[in-house]
A and B are shown apart, each in its own frame.
Chain A
Amino acid sequence: MNGARVEFRGLRRRFGNTVALDGLDLTAEPGELLALLGPSGCGKTTALRCLAGFEHPDEGEILVDGSDITRVPANRRDAGMVFQSYSLFPNLNVKDNVAFGLRVRKAPTARRHARAQELLELVGLPSIGERYPHQLSGGQQQRVALARALALEPRVLLLDEPLSALDAKVRVNLREEIRRLQLSLGITTIFVTHDQEEALSVADRVAVLRAGRLEQVADPATLYDRPATPFVAEFVGTMNHLPGRVSGDKVTVLGQELPVEGPVPDSADVNVLIRPEAVLLTPDEDGDGKVLVSSFRGSTARLRVQLPDGSEALADVPGHHSVRLAPGTAVRVALVERPVLVSVASSGEHGR
């Protein structure tokens, strides 16, 4: 493991009237892939740009392996970055693009070429060194950009939504490849994304940001199973909002009493947040629920169900059950017995 520890301490940054970072505290452990996840405007990109040296925080500091780099110019930060937009130098061929950083450091030509070739092999493009960026596909360009960012063996790798401009299939392949590379190099990596699926699938830990603050940081399974706040619960994965009534530390929803996790709001009427896979359906002619739509996904099927009170919810069932749960089937609806998060009720919003 040659990764560095990266710490954001009390980072604040405002642009005019908008607050991009509002006291962000976050640490990336050595060798870890940390995803920064959040809706647009949550400050994730600003945090990354502060780390790269393209933005300067109004307050707070950034430490890499314990040393404060907040005032170090961008060209001396020792952090390789892959950008969202295609950033290869159009006037240079692929090999010279990858070797650009070595050239800046006046490395001898032979070493530059050897290193460029080595990195192109690493990203799976050994034979395109002589081509120019405009001759490459989007996925190839981002691979070359990755090779270029790694050429100087940086202490930290920064990925600013590197996959968002690519086709769905290329995106999935490339993110797996990034993860494989990151694991084999053991480089501390910060991956900014607004795509929760992307964050959950590749990161060691995911930090969810909201309005410039850290909402929760946890490994993907914890984040999904035990979200700390309703915001995280809704942003990560799919959530049903079912009307419920709080009494004490219990909430009654669909006639079932479930323990409440986290803070209990003052008002009695709440939205109970339930994952689709926690909604259990049993075909039953006397059931007061009804399957409306079914979309088959192979191993699972996602059903839209009408509840007794007329509202709707999403339910995930094993794929082979979907035959018995065709649209129109009457069902009995139950919920998995486990603590649930609740949020203050807002009218007319069920399922997502």
Chain B
Amino acid sequence: MAALSPQTLPAATKATPAPGRPHRIRVWRGAILLVAAVYFLVPLIASFAFTVKTPGKGVTLDAYGQIFSAEGFGRALLLSLGLGVATIAVVLLLTLPAMLAVRLSVPRLRPILEVVCTLPLVVPPITFVAGISKVLQWGPDYLASTPFYQTIISIQNPDFPVVLVLTYVVLALPFVYRALDAGLSAIDARTLVEAARNLGASWPHLLLRVIVPNLRAALANASFLTLALVLGEFTIARLLSFQTFPVWIYTISGSQAQVSVAVSVFSLLITWLLLLALSSAGARQRSGK
């Protein structure tokens, strides 16, 4: 959004000299906003109406009360949040040092890194999960006592399936790459790094004290996108039979339709709150810059 405004601004000022134009633009703006609002709000309102109106009982918030007492709700939500946090930690620790190293010492490898990081976007999740389950199933008996086998088993622990973290790291790469790349381009990373090195800073020190603080908005952005991805990912978790939050919503919709929709509205609310927190953090950094 922020990237759009500088482009739209000159267009608007250019339009002002012609009399009558601003008014027409305002009308069009309103019309488009209305269409977009209808597109987004109607399903939301319909969902909300479905959850609060029970035939015969009138309007109640019972469905929302039932969310918290529903079987498995807490466990599924905590699992998804845990997976999200772990994925964010792994993907950031992986990409930030790599991207910085490529920018500083081998800038000509940047296009390659970009292609590699964008690749997961073009692989459909279903292909992805088919490959993963093939690998997980493979495990001849004679390997049963080896650490390799143990590893395969332990990453599939249903209480915390590490295999999902690994998968989500790959899925999140394109979004994280974009966010961090924009952030790194906005600061003069090379000069900041060299200035810090010149003042005696070790690499870990300058990463934590110089790069991370100046990339706060980009890091928040990348984290949010990753969290949203993990909280919404259904295909892979379902096909590998793990009870993450989206899978749980799907499971419960069979028996308690109203509660499952209520949960969807509820999770949308959480996502919005996270987005709001993120954009206010970004705005604070911009005003402080």
Chain A residues engaging chain B, CB cutoff 8 angstroms: 52-54, 73-77, 79-81, 83, 85-91, 100-101, 104-105, 132, 134, 145, 148-149, 151-152
> Nearest chain B CB to A117's CB is how many angstroms away?
18
Interface pairs (30), CB distance under 8 Å: A52-B198, A73-B197, A74-B197, A75-B197, A75-B199, A75-B201, A75-B202, A76-B200, A77-B198, A83-B191, A83-B195, A85-B188, A85-B191, A86-B188, A86-B191, A87-B188, A87-B191, A90-B214, A91-B213, A91-B214, A100-B196, A100-B199, A101-B200, A104-B200, A104-B205, A105-B200, A132-B288, A149-B198, A152-B199, A152-B200
Q: Which residues of B contact A105 (CB under 8 A)?
A: 200
B188 lies within 8 A of A53 (CB): no
Chain B: residues with Cβ within 8 Å of the partner, total of 19
A148 lies within 8 A of B199 (CB): yes
Q: Which residues of B contact A73 (CB under 8 A)?
A: 197
Distance in angstroms between the alpha carbons of A126 and B269 in the assembled complex: 50
Q: Does B289 contact A (CB under 8 A)?
A: yes
Q: Which residues of A contact B201 (CB under 8 A)?
A: 75, 100, 104
Q: Which residues of B contact A101 (CB under 8 A)?
A: 199-200
Q: Which of B195, B202, B213 has the most CB of A within 10 A?
A: B195
- Mask, B277-289, CB within 8 Å of A = 1, is 0000000000011
A74 lies within 8 A of B194 (CB): yes
Q: Which residues of A contact B188 (CB under 8 A)?
A: 85-87
One of B198, B202, B214, B288 near A81 (C-beta < 8 A):
B198
Q: Which of B187, B194, B213 has the most CB of A within 10 A?
A: B194
A89 lies within 8 A of B200 (CB): no
Known contacts: A89-B210, A91-B213. The answer to whether A83 contacts B199 by CB under 8 A is no
Q: Which residues of A contact B41 (CB under 8 A)?
A: none
Q: Does B192 contact A (CB under 8 A)?
A: yes
Q: Which residues of A contact B202 (CB under 8 A)?
A: 75, 104
Residue of A nearest to B215 (CB): A91
> Nearest chain B CB to A99's CB is how many angstroms away?
10
10 more A-B contacts (CB under 8 A) besides A79-B198, A151-B199?
A54-B197, A80-B199, A89-B195, A89-B214, A91-B214, A101-B199, A104-B199, A104-B205, A132-B288, A134-B289
> Nearest chain B CB to A62's CB is how many angstroms away?
15
Distance in angstroms between the alpha carbons of A43 and B202 in the assembled complex: 28
Residue of B nearest to A89 (CB): B210
Known contacts: A89-B210, A90-B214, A91-B213. The answer to whether A75 contacts B191 by CB under 8 A is no
B199 lies within 8 A of A87 (CB): no
> Nearest chain B CB to A301's CB is how many angstroms away?
43
Q: Which residues of A contact B194 (CB under 8 A)?
A: 52, 54, 74, 81, 83, 87
Q: Which residues of B contact A152 (CB under 8 A)?
A: 199-200
Q: Which residues of A contact B191 (CB under 8 A)?
A: 83, 85-87
